[in-house]
Structure 1
Amino acid sequence: MEQLKVIFVDDDIHLGDFVSNILESEYNYKVHFQNTTIGIKPIIEDFAPDVIILDVEIGDQNGIETAKDILTRHPQIPILFVSSHSEEELITRGIDVGGNAYIPKPLSIPILVSYIKRFTSNIPVEQSLIISDYRLELESNNLYYKNRLLKKLSYFEKNALEILIQNPNQIVSKEQLAEKLWGHSLEKRNIASIQNTLSKLRNLINQNKSIKIDTVRGVGYLLVV
């Protein structure tokens, strides 16, 4: 079986060596560790990682801004943030730029590995979903309207729209969205990210007046077709 490839970026060299050794020796992952974001772009191109683990603060470098830049070039690569900071605003920013998870330090290796497995699993999915004149390509995250590309969606936009399209004219609860986006039950810190994601989707599907996303106050959202 081909080794799963991980890039781990953290300014704590001892932590980096510790995590890298365990992932390589116990899970048979191929790990590239570095303690700076300098030179990360060519490394990503050359190493072709399946997942990137990124500290929110790497010395005086901003991991969230780095992730934002990475995702404009490689939107298909899952990014897992790690941090000793637990401020709600920081977590929301990390998720809003496209991060797949925010894992607190001190790191639990089993929890870290469970997130790696979740976001790198190769579960077969339908190639595309179609509703009205919209087509969502599930592998590329591209959203089309009348065969015209509207946008390459972020991970959260794609997954939120996917569950809405799969449940037309049915209420999709915030709990369902949280399970789809994060793999766990709804937490207070996630609500702002859900609202922000749905707002972006509304702006994208305003080309066709026969389809809209309604808010069901206190419950969730409804894709009206």
Structure 2
Amino acid sequence: MEQLKVLFVDDDLNLGSFVTTILETDYNYKVHFQNTLLGIDSIVQTLAPNIIIFDVEIGKENGMDKAQDIIAKHPHIPLLFVSSHTEDDFIIRGINIGGNAYIPKPLSIPVLVSYIQRFTTNKQGQFLSVSGYQLDLQTNDLFHENNLLKKLSPFEKNALELLMENPNKIVSKDQLFEKLWEHSLVPENNASLHNTLSKLRDLFKDQKVLQIDTVRGVGYVLNTHVG
């Protein structure tokens, strides 16, 4: 199984070192610890974490304001707030801006891990990932490097799901017809299939790391060997 990636943002260096060591040693997580907000947008983009843990105050900066911005840009990444501030108004704001949980300090590692597992176990099962693209199977949202590209139509989602489950392999027209219409090839649905695949191709043309190729008379291939 792929290592779970955690981004931990807190200005307490000792806490950061302690939490990082425990999560990596005892739980085999890959942890990136950050004690400032400097370059945080780039870090989220590059690391593509499975979950983010965020202090509500980072030095003199307001962690909640930045977390709100991150949640807006990357709504599919769960974010947990941690803080010594346990007043109701802090907790209420943290949840209202989209935080998945608000965990008081001092941190209990077992409690923290239980929240990490709660908000990542289901997530890992609901996403398909190929070459930096992620398809949310529950919401039909397609992301590239954590940026939302489009909410797919049911036809687009079902066709792309089948292709992403079989990268670099031929997916026959019969397989696609079964996935989209729950029956075998029907000629009058050919135009709808071609239109669906054309829309998906347009989503990949800018990044040039994926493309849908036609295998004449057989089917289609989601090709990751582009360029």
TM class, shorter-length: 0.5 to 0.7
In structure 2, what is the Cα distance between the partners aligned to 1:25 and 1:66? 29
Cα distance in 2 for residues equivalent to 1:140 and 1:100: 19
User: Structure 1 residue 6: deviation in Å?
Assistant: 0.3
Structure 1 CA distance for aligned equivalents of residues 140 and 19 of structure 2: 30
What's 1:155 paired with?
none
Superposition pairs of residues 92-103 of structure 1, within 5 angstroms:
92-103=92-103
Match of 2:30 in 1: 30
Structure 2: gaps (5+ residues): 127-137, 143-149, 153-227
Mapped partners of 2:101, 2:115: distance in 1: 8
AA at the equivalent of 2:91: I
Amino acid in the other structure paired with 2:103: I
- In the alignment, residue 24 of structure 1 is paired with which amino acid? E
If the length of structure 1 is used for normalisation, what is the TM-score? 0.56
Aligned residue for 1:140? 141
Measured in 1, the distance between the counterparts of 2:106 and 2:140 equals: 33
The residue type equivalent to 1:32 in the other structure is H
- The code of the aligned residue for 1:64 comes to M
Deviation at 1:72, TM superposition (A): 1.5
1:43 Cα deviation from its structure 2 partner: 0.5
- Three-state SS of the structure 2 residue aligned to 1:106 is coil
Q: State the Cα deviation string for residues 96-117 of structure 1 (Å, max 9, x = none).
A: 1100000000000000000000
Q: Give % identity.
A: 62
The letter for the 2-side match of 1:95 is: I
Q: 1:1-225 residue pairs with structure 2 within 5 A?
A: 1-122=1-122, 138=139, 140=141
Q: Distance in 2 between matches of 1:140 and 1:88?
A: 33
Superposed displacement of residue 32, structure 1: 0.2
What RMSD, in angstroms, separates the aligned Cα atoms of the two structures? 2.7
User: By how many angstroms is 1:143 displaced?
Assistant: 8.8
TM-score, scaled relative to structure 2? 0.56
* 1:162 paired residue number: none
Q: Match of 1:46, SS?
A: helix
Write out the 4+ residue segments of structure 1 that deviate beyond 4 Å after TM superposition. Answer: 141-144
Q: Deviations over 1:149-195 (max 9, x none)?
A: xxxxxxxxxxxxxxxxxxxxxxxxxxxxxxxxxxxxxxxxxxxxxxx
Structure 1 residues 46, 86: closer, same or farther in 2, change over 3 A? same
Tell me, yes or no, if the aligned pair for 1:76 and 1:140 is still in contact at 8 Å: no
Partner Cα separation in structure 1 for residue 140 and residue 98 of structure 2? 16
1:81 and 1:102 in contact (8 A); partners too: yes
- DSSP 3-state at the match of 2:122: coil
